[in-house]
Amino acid sequence: MLDLRPFVRWIPATFAPLVHIGPGPADYTDRVGSTDVALYGSADMACILYSIDALDASGQAAAWLDTLSRFQDPRSGYLISSDASLSKVHNTAFAIGAMNLFNPDLPNGVRPPHRLEFATNFDTPEKMTRYIKSQNWTTDVYESGENVIGLASAFANVSGVVPATWIPWFMDYVDRTMVDSSSGLLGQDKPPAGDLDQVGGTVHFAFFWAYCKRHLPHVEKRVDAILGLQQPNGLWDDNNPWWMTFDATYMLARAAAAKPQYRAADVRHAVHKALTVVFERAMDQSLREADFYQPVLGVHNLTGAISLFANAQEFLGADAVGTDCPLRLVLNRRPYI
């Protein structure tokens, strides 16, 4: 068993106070040293604390919802971060996802406090198809996937925004037209065995499909592609050890749920090997600070880390990842991260 308890205990004891800038319970910044309440501080800390069962989602709900609502543009309905590292669609979907932790029923016009007026640009199959086709599925599947599923997640989380037929149509369209049968991943003009850009983009569809209790097609090919892209050291990308490892291992776990007999030993071995590498990274104080203190959106990196461990614990079992209480994968609650 990998004893994750020191890392999990470090979060509320040491990390959270460094990024909590008060006075409200939801007033967090997005990186150590910043003094501004940030969308990717408050929303991320909601996810992190929820994951380790340290979030007061009832007694403090009003304060958290009010803080997150500060970022909404009343004209468009988008929730917008002052940091431009991620798109406004990602900002919106992620903040609404955090609101879901405090109020799972978000009726449009009530919460968020302003209507999602931007939805009128995407609320028919014709409009959404144009938007999907406007994205870069050749060299930037990662951000394209974030954006497309960001819209779908916002529409799934906030009732009354799009017609009831919108999400079934959208999922059928993706299954029918967007998944490469050679790799099981999304993308155009890509290598037959897939690439990391596709892994980062496809995972957003995988967790939306899981939320809707469906599986993307071509599961076996996706398993083959993801296993084939894993490096000998256990990671998929040395420069992105948290998010890309989460992306790959999450999809392997989802594939195992869909096809439990397909390369089962290889899948478990791959997830465990990657888990061992990131566990050692989490236990190293200097690497921990480099990953979560120093970068812009360092708090967002910690969301990726705790989600990775929660997924691994759920997939491999508590005898593989030891914590004081079971970690909760935030994606099981809402379809965006």
Which structure tokens are listed for 51? 């994951």
Residues 143-147 have a mean pLDDT of: 98
> Is 76 in contact with 117 (CB distance < 8 Å)?
yes
> What percentage of the chain reaches a pLDDT higher than 90?
97
Residues 296-323 have a mean pLDDT of: 97
The predicted structure's pLDDT at residue 316: 98
Is a pLDDT exceeding 90 seen at residue 84?
no
> Looking at this protein, which amino acid is placed at residue 218?
H
pLDDT level of residue 144 (50, 70, 90 thresholds)? very high
In the block, tokens 């594939």 appear at: 255
Residues recorded for the chain: 337
What are the backbone angles phi and psi of residue 186, rounded to the nearest 5°?
-85, 150
In the block, tokens 């380790």 appear at: 52
- Give the chain's radius of gyration (CA, Å): 19
> Is 203 in contact with 337 (CB distance < 8 Å)?
no
The predicted structure's pLDDT at residue 320: 96
Give the three-class secondary structure for 113: coil
DSSP character string of 227-244: HHH--TTS-S-TT-TTHH
Q: Write down the pTM of the prediction.
A: 0.97
Alpha carbon distance 18, 149 (integer Å): 32
Alpha carbon distance 258, 69 (integer Å): 37
Alpha carbon distance 148, 151 (integer Å): 5
Alpha carbon distance 284, 156 (integer Å): 39
In the block, tokens 């955090």 appear at: 98
Please tell me what DSSP assigns to residue 110: T
pLDDT level of residue 211 (50, 70, 90 thresholds)? very high
Other beta carbons within 10 angstroms of residue 205's beta carbon come to: 23
Give the model confidence (pLDDT) of 260-277 as tens digits: 999 999 999 999 999 999
Residue 194 Ramachandran class (φ > 0 left, ψ -120 to 50 alpha, else beta): left
The predicted structure's pLDDT at residue 103: 94
CA dihedral 21, 22, 25, 30 (to 10 degrees): -30
> Is 30 in contact with 40 (CB distance < 8 Å)?
yes
Is a pLDDT exceeding 90 seen at residue 281?
yes
> Is 194 in contact with 183 (CB distance < 8 Å)?
yes
Alpha carbon distance 157, 93 (integer Å): 9
CA 1 to centroid of chain Cα atoms: 26
Alpha carbon distance 318, 335 (integer Å): 24
What are the backbone angles phi and psi of residue 322, rounded to the nearest 5°?
-95, 130
pLDDT level of residue 44 (50, 70, 90 thresholds)? very high
Alpha carbon distance 156, 164 (integer Å): 10
pLDDT level of residue 57 (50, 70, 90 thresholds)? very high
pLDDT level of residue 80 (50, 70, 90 thresholds)? very high
Give the three-class secondary structure for 109: coil
The predicted structure's pLDDT at residue 294: 87
What is the average pLDDT value for the chain, to the nearest integer?
Answer: 97
